[in-house]
């Protein structure tokens, strides 16, 4: 995925509730790349324009799986405390 | 960075159907002030470089200290153990971690081939860590380290970690005693060589885990670290 595509995907998945700014996205992407959780490459489009794509690495998948598990445990804990939705 | 932001703006303009100059001006007016954005990105870039070089060095030192320490315990002269530690740790370990990001996009087999080749080349100084001139088979220790670093960059079954030092020990004995005839085989040398290669294995796994831990701390903000 490329930068604008990531912003749009987040916006659509959150039904417009959360909008990532470029100032938040690109430092995060570069940080993830420095830690080798993702990698990036430039690709030239048919119209001659260049775009930088990002793809997740195995280490990134492992980190994502670990954090998703932590998040789900947290949600279950809060749900157990708050009680079922009315 | 400017190239990337420019590409981003063009993508957004295309997606929103903005083709005129006034359309682009409207788009730019919605964005953060360029100076603020540039400052944030510049600070991040500097920290990224520090993180990469710092973790590469630290992870390489783990490998160097472990292997050099083992040589000292084996009874090698301190300066040879130190030279081996520096070459193995800084050149091979640190060097591998520093350049690895350039070949991450290759397929797994190509990545392994590049890792083994690069670390073998980086370990040329290891060939001089002997009392008898240059020993080319020392480069195989560098190549073995590169193999382990790349192979264990992902979670692997335990039996891999057990088999790899055994297989490499067998390979080294086959080369040194069978093919090159440089040393005479003795059974007492086997546990010594095996323990050295197992030390390389363990230090690589520790270095990889340590680097992963630092990466996770780098990615998460202090509030998220819990």
Report how far residue B226's alpha carbon sits from residue B220's, in angstroms, rounded to the nearest whole number: 10
Q: What is the pLDDT of residues B31-85, one digit of tens each?
A: 777 677 777 777 777 778 888 888 888 999 999 999 999 999 999 889 989 988 9
- What pLDDT is attached to residue B225? 47
Q: Which of A23, A47, A51 to mutate to test the interface with B (most CBs of B within 10 A)?
A: A23
Task: Answer whether residue B23 shows pLDDT above 90.
Answer: no
Tell me the nearest-neighbour CA distance from B218 into chain A, angstroms: 8
CA dihedral sign, ordered A83, A64, B145, B88 = negative
Residues of B whose CB is below 8 A from A21 = 32
| Torsions phi, psi for B31 (to 5 deg) | -85, 165
Q: Given B15, B45, B104, which is nearest A36 (Cβ)? A: B104
pLDDT at residue B182, rounded to an integer: 78
Helix axis angle, B158-173 relative to B189-219, nearest 10°?
140
Query: Would you say residue B200 has pLDDT above 70?
Result: yes
Tell me the residue range of the domain where A63 lies: 3-82
The mean per-residue pLDDT over the stretch B26-35 comes to 76
CA nearest neighbour of A56 among A40, A72, A34: A40
Query: B89 burial class (0-12, 13-18, 19+ CB within 10 angstroms)?
Result: buried
Using CA atoms of B57, B86, B206, B199 in order, give the dihedral in degrees to the nearest 10: 170
Average pLDDT value for chain B: 86
Query: Which CATH number fits the domain that encloses residue A18?
Result: 1.10.10.10
Q: Cβ contact (<8 Å) for B48 and A30?
A: yes
Reported as a single tens digit per residue, the pLDDT across B87-118 is 888 888 888 888 888 888 888 899 999 999 99
Residue B222: pLDDT over 70:
no
Yes or no, beta carbons of A36 and B154 under 8 Å apart:
no
Q: Using an 8 Å Cβ cutoff, are B101 and A39 in contact? A: yes
Q: How many domains does chain A have?
A: 1
What ipTM describes this predicted complex? 0.78
Q: pLDDT value at position B226?
A: 44
Mean pLDDT of A32-57: 89
B8 reaches A (C-beta below 8 A): yes
B133-176: pLDDT as tens digits: 888 888 999 999 999 999 998 889 999 999 999 999 999 999 98
Per DSSP, what are the bridge partners of residue A40? Answer: A54
Probe site for chain B from A2, A21, A25, A34 (most B CB atoms < 10 A): A34
- For the entire predicted model, the pTM comes to 0.81
**CA A19, CA B136: separation in Å to the nearest integer?**
57
How many residues in chain B? 226
B200 Cβ contact partners less than 8 Å away, ≥ 6 residues apart? B63, B66, B67, B141, B144, B145, B148, B165
Residues B154, A62: C-beta atoms closer than 8 Å: yes
Cβ atoms of B156 and B135 within 8 Å: the answer is no
Quote the CA–CA distance of B136 and B124 in Å, as a whole number.
8
Lowest mean pLDDT among A30-34, B3-7, B220-224: B220-224
Where are chain B's structural domains?
48-224
Half-sphere exposure of B178 (CA within 13 A, CB side): 7
């Amino acid at each position: 995925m490329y930068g604008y595509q990531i912003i749009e995907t987040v916006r659509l998945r959150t039904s417009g509730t959360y909008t990532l700014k470029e100032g938040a996205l690109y430092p995060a992407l570069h940080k993830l790349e420095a830690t080798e959780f993702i990698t990036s490459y430039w690709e030239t489009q048919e119209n001659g324009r260049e775009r930088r794509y990002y793809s997740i690495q195995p280490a990134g998948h492992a980190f994502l799986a670990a954090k998703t598990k932590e998040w789900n445990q947290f949600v279950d804990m809060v749900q157990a405390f708050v009680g079922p939705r009315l | 960075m400017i190239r990337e932001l420019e590409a981003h703006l063009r993508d957004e303009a295309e997606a929103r159907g903005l083709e005129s100059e006034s359309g682009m001006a409207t788009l730019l007016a919605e964005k953060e002030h360029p100076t603020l954005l540039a400052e944030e990105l510049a600070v991040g870039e500097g920290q990224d470089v520090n993180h990469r070089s710092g973790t590469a060095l630290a992870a390489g030192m783990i490998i160097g200290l472990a292997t050099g320490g083992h040589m000292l315990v084996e009874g090698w002269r301190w300066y040879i153990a130190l030279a081996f530690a520096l070459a193995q740790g800084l050149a091979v370990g640190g060097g591998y971690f520093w350049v690895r990001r350039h070949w991450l996009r290759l397929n797994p087999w190509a990545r392994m081939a590049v890792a083994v080749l690069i670390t073998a080349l980086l370990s040329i100084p290891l060939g001089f860590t002997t009392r008898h001139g240059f020993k080319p088979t020392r480069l195989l220790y560098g190549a073995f380290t590169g193999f382990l670093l790349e192979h264990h960059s992902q979670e692997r079954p335990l039996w891999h970690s057990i088999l790899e030092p055994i297989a490499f020990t067998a390979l080294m004995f086959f080369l040194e005693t069978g093919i090159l005839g440089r040393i005479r085989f003795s059974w007492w040398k086997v546990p010594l060589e095996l323990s050295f290669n197992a030390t390389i294995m363990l230090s690589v796994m520790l270095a990889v885990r340590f680097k992963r831990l630092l990466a996770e701390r780098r990615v998460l903000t202090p509030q998220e670290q819990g």
